[in-house]
Amino acid sequence: MDGKEGQQKTQYRRVPTTVISTTYEEQKMSAGVATIRMVMWMAFKSLNILYIPIFIARKFKRSKICPPVKDEILLLPASELADKIRKQELSSEAVVKAYIARIQEVNPLINAVIEDRFKQAIEDAKYADKLISFGTLSAEELKEKHPLLGVPLTVKGSIEVAHMKITSGMLTRANITAKTDAVTVKYAREAGAIPILTSNIPELCMNWESGNKLKGTTKNPHNTTRTPGGSSGGEASLLASACSVIGIGSDVGGSLRLPAHFCGVWGHKPSPGVVSYIGHYPSCKNEEVWKAVFTLGPMARYATDLKLLLEVIVEPEMKDCLMLNEPVNLKDVRVFFMEDIESSLTTKVSDDCLEALHQVIDHFNTLCYNNCKKVKLPLMKHAPEIAALNLLDID
């Protein structure tokens, strides 16, 4: 580092930088496009200024955090819960009741639940325990046929769960009930998972926060003055507060990944087409466009459960394509990263995020034989506008 960089509070390790040039970079933007960009920049900066009093007021608002977890059942990954249930070391009924008790304790703080099915879930758990006690199938056979047997599952409120409301946060859909399960929920049930509730979302899943006029606003369990993100914010808040261990979310532009990031849990957006989106509301008239950008995916409190749930909800014909159980030779893995996109429509990346990024890069350099490279993509600064225009083009 040079002298100026060395004086900075946070210091980062130098890594090779690759500049990816493009002929488009050398072309001047037309006067019309430049004007639109300037107007958008001024609008966003004005919004930032207008929100300053709100942010200042929130500083004086008393924040709350969720009470600590007392039941050790709530600290086990779904994979361990399923294993203990199969071996009759834990009963599914005890697990489901533990989660119900936690939800009843915490939800008044975070407001993450749309509708629950606690009574039916307890009956489902009793049935799972009976199935195991019959001894017809061994623990290994149960693992093969019902890998999530007896494990509670939460589902984003825009995904159909039979006999539960599917409002998508809209007042006009307040009394609409799903007649059947979404395909992903159907697969999860077949694997033995027990849906216990649907979680809160923004209206039509069109916000990076999770609030609507039917159920109000969901809060971040780490600090109730903060947002859990959106649109799968209810799921992320439940997972982070130990009210859920696995869940199903949906994603176009970060809807299950951003809430996971905001709440410190895990969300994975599979490649579109791998997981069925049938049974999600809202949908799109242009099916070809929709299936190219939209998908449902797994969310989990523990990273180890992402693969387990993805294998359950993935379309059967796509399982072999994913090669989830194939070993990866890390020597062949190359990692490229950026520190900022330098867009006029985004805020500067914080030092905390940069520090975390470089911790990850250091870790990957150890695993991947120093195959990490910092890249500069000049046109990436246009990414927010391009993404917004693509979304607006969906009918």
Judge if 261 and 170 occupy the same domain.
yes
In whole angstroms, what is the distance from residue 196 CA to residue 190 CA?
A: 15
Contact (Cβ atoms closer than 8 angstroms) between residue 251 and residue 265: no
Using pLDDT thresholds of 50, 70 and 90, give the confidence band for residue 16.
Answer: low
Active-site position among 158, 255, 269, 276: 255
- How far apart are the C-alpha atoms of 101 and 67, rounded to whole Å? 13
Question: How, if at all, do strands 17-19 and 372-376 pair?
Answer: parallel
pLDDT of residue 3: 44
Strands of the sheet containing 152-156, edge to edge, are: 113-116, 194-199, 152-156, 246-251, 295-300, 266-267
173 and 270 share a domain? Answer: yes
Q: How far apart are CA 110 and CA 95, in angstroms?
A: 21
The model's pTM is: 0.88
Give the model's pLDDT for residue 2: 44
Q: Average the pLDDT over each of 26-30, 50-54, 289-293, 391-395 and give the range with the smallest value.
A: 26-30
Contacts 24+ apart (CB under 8 A), 66-70: 66/106, 66/109, 66/110, 66/221, 66/222, 66/241, 66/242, 67/105, 67/106, 69/102, 69/242
Please report, for the domain that includes residue 248, its CATH number. 3.90.1300.10
For residue 11, pLDDT over 70 is answered with: no
Within this chain, do residues 317 and 233 fall inside the same structural domain, yes or no? yes
Mean pLDDT over the full length of the chain: 90
Q: Point out the least confidently predicted range of 9-23, 98-112, 158-172.
A: 9-23
With tokens 């109730």, the residue in question is 224
Q: From 133, 141, 146, 147, select the one nearest 88 (Cα to Cα).
A: 133
375 phi, psi to nearest 5 deg: -120, 155
pLDDT of 9: 46
Q: Which two tokens stand for residue 341?
A: 């996109």
Give the range among 118-122, 232-236, 344-348 with minimum mean pLDDT: 344-348
Q: Is 242 left (phi over 0), alpha (psi -120 to 50) or beta?
A: left
**Per-residue pLDDT at 8 exceeds 70:** no
pLDDT, one tens digit per residue, over 267-281 is 999 999 999 999 999
Taken as a whole, the chain contains a residue count of: 395
Q: Which is more confident, 300 or 50?
A: 300
| Whether 320 and 353 share a structural domain | no
pLDDT digits (tens, 9 = 90+) for 166-205: 999 999 999 999 999 999 999 999 999 999 999 999 999 9
Quote the pLDDT of residue 17. Answer: 55
| Confidence band for 32, pLDDT divided at 50, 70 and 90 | low
> Would you say 376 and 20 are in contact if contact means Cβ atoms under 8 Å apart?
yes
Q: Is residue 374 part of a domain?
A: yes
> From the centroid of its chain, how far is CA 357?
19
Contact between 232 and 257 under an 8 Å Cβ cutoff? The reply is no
Residue 314, number of CB atoms within 10 A of its CB: 21
- What's the pLDDT score for residue 395? 67
97, 209, 224, 270 from 362: Cα distances, Å = 42, 32, 33, 26
**pLDDT score for 28:** 47
The alpha carbon of residue 174 and the mean position of all alpha carbons in its chain are separated, in whole angstroms, by 25
User: Within 13 Å of residue 280, how many CA atoms lie on the same side as its CB?
Assistant: 26
The string of DSSP codes covering 255-296 is: TTHHHHHHHT-EE--PPTTSB--TTBSS--S-HHHHHHH-EE
Q: Which residue has the higher pLDDT, 391 or 224?
A: 224
Pair 211, 149 in one domain: yes
Q: Which domain holds residue 304?
A: 76-326
Task: Give pLDDT tens digits for 327-377.
Answer: 988 888 899 999 998 887 788 899 999 999 999 999 999 888 888 999 999
Pairing of strands 246-251, 266-267: unpaired
Catalytic member of 97, 156, 186, 219: 156
* Residue 379 resides in a domain: yes
388: which 2 tokens?
A: 């917004």
Q: Cα(first)–Cα(last) distance of the chain, in Å? A: 50
Decide: residue 92, CB within 10 A, 0-12 exposed, 13-18 middle, 19+ buried: buried
Does 175 share its domain with 196? yes
Does residue 22 belong to any structural domain of this protein?
A: no
Query: Which of 168, 210, 231, 241 is an active site residue?
Result: 231
What percent of the chain is modeled with pLDDT above 90?
68
Confidence of residue 56 (pLDDT cuts 50, 70, 90): confident
Active site residue 133: no
Q: Are residues 208 and 297 in the same domain?
A: yes
Domain endpoint, select from 304, 326, 348: 326
> Which residues are bridge partners to 216 per DSSP?
212
- Report how far residue 35's alpha carbon sits from residue 44's, in angstroms, rounded to the nearest whole number: 14
Contact by Cβ (8 Å): 265, 300: yes
Structure tokens at 297: 């995916």
Copy the structure tokens of residue 177. Answer: 């009930």
How many domains does the structure of the chain reveal? 2
Q: Is there a domain that residue 9 lies in?
A: no
Do 123 and 87 lie in a common domain?
yes
Asked if residue 97 is part of any domain, the answer here is: yes
For residue 194, being part of any structural domain is answered with: yes
Shared domain for 341 and 282, answered yes or no, is no
Could you confirm whether 231 is annotated as catalytic? yes
Please report whether residue 377 resides in a domain: yes
Residue at which a domain ends, from 300, 326, 352: 326
Based on the fold, state whether residues 242 and 321 are members of the same structural domain.
yes
| Rounded CA separation 330/217 (Å) | 43
Same domain, 89 and 214: yes
Answer whether residue 19 shows pLDDT above 60.
no
**Average pLDDT estimate for 243-269:** 97
Residue 30 is a catalytic residue? no
For 39, counting Cβ atoms within 10 Å of its Cβ (0-12 exposed, 13-18 middle, 19+ buried), the class is exposed
pLDDT at 132 over 80: yes
User: Is 2 a domain residue?
Assistant: no
Residues 139, 282 share a domain: yes
Last residue of a domain, one of 277, 296, 326: 326
